[in-house]
Amino acid sequence: MRQAGRIVAAILNILSQQIRPGMKTKELDTIATRELEKRGAKSSFKGYHGYPATVCVSVNDEIVHGIPGQRVLREGDIVSLDFGAIYDDFQGDAAVTVGVGTITEKAKQLIAAGKGALDAGISAAYAGARLGDVSAAIQQYAETRGFAVVREYTGHGIGREMHEEPLIPNFGEPGTGPVLKQGMTICLEPMLTTGDWRTKTDDDHWTVRTADGSLSSHFEHTIAITDAEAEVLTSRIYA
Ligand code: MF3
Ligand code: CO
């Protein structure tokens, strides 16, 4: 899983660096596919419940599962990239939101809060803690900064499958839910909005966006639980 995580991190780094105004979202998918091949890895997403691409590209009010295509990125957009890889039969899954060129102050704050909410969740995730502690830490971080947390999509366990037990909501009550154990591998993935948390899904049956048209950010890491600080398997620092 460390290797799968490192591949995901490295490719997300490449994608974030390649983003620029005038680029079609499809180009990001082409790069992701080529980089996976280079590393002898496979896409977790392509064909998953019929998903047609290698990376999810969700722009502005799109929260998750945006399908890359002919849309052209513009200065001021914010782009969420969600990407998963299979290497040696194990999965890695991570997401990041980046700005295209200069973005508004509000968008910057949304991105910072999304990143911070994920870090708050990671800090709360150690052996002996309850799942509700992690969910509550994420929710509290986001809401105290004035952002809403999406309810209908959650984090998840991960291993040989991309989605395993348990579901990990980004909101909840401390002291509730299953106890985390050393060696568990999970994905935390807070989705924040500048408005309301309610969502709607496009006619393509994939693209999920905010119901009120507000902006959304999405950050995700695959982590391994230890009795101290969790090991972030998709850390982009060392990739
Ligand atoms: N990466 C998403 C998650 O974090 C799942 C992507 S759905 C797919 O759980 F259909 F695009 F694969
Ligand atoms: Co995930």
Beta strands in 11-151 (DSSP E): 42-43, 55-59, 62-64, 78-87, 90-99, 148-149
pLDDT one digit per residue (tens) for the chain, 239 residues: 999 999 999 999 999 999 999 999 999 999 999 999 999 999 999 999 999 999 999 999 999 999 999 999 999 999 999 999 999 999 999 999 999 999 999 999 999 999 999 999 999 999 999 999 999 999 999 999 999 999 999 999 999 999 999 999 999 999 999 999 999 999 999 999 999 999 999 999 999 999 999 999 999 999 999 999 999 999 998 77
The answer to whether the CB of 205 is under 6 A from ligand 1 is: no
Find the length of the chain. Answer: 239
The answer to whether the CB of 141 is under 6 A from ligand 1 is: no
Query: How high is the pLDDT of residue 153?
Result: 98
Break the chain into its structural domains and give their ranges. Answer: 2-238
| Phi and psi, residue 208, nearest 5° | -105, 130
- Angstrom distance (rounded) from CA 58 to CA 220: 14
- Ligand 1 pocket test: pick from 25, 51, 80 the residue with the most ligand atoms within 8 Å of its Cβ: 51
The answer to whether the CB of 84 is under 6 A from ligand 1 is: yes
* pTM of the complete model: 0.98
| 2-238 CATH fold | Creatine Amidinohydrolase (3.90.230)
Query: How high is the pLDDT of residue 116?
Result: 98
Residues 10/58, Cβ–Cβ less than 8 Å: no
- Ligand 1 pocket test: pick from 29, 36, 67, 93 the residue with the most ligand atoms within 8 Å of its Cβ: 93
Q: How far is the CA of 154 from the centre of ligand 2 (A)?
A: 8
The answer to whether the CB of 56 is under 6 A from ligand 1 is: yes
CA dihedral sign of residues 22, 25, 26, 32: positive
> Of the candidates 116, 115, 118, 92, which has an alpha carbon nearest to the alpha carbon of residue 234?
92
Query: How high is the pLDDT of residue 62?
Result: 99
Query: How high is the pLDDT of residue 219?
Result: 98
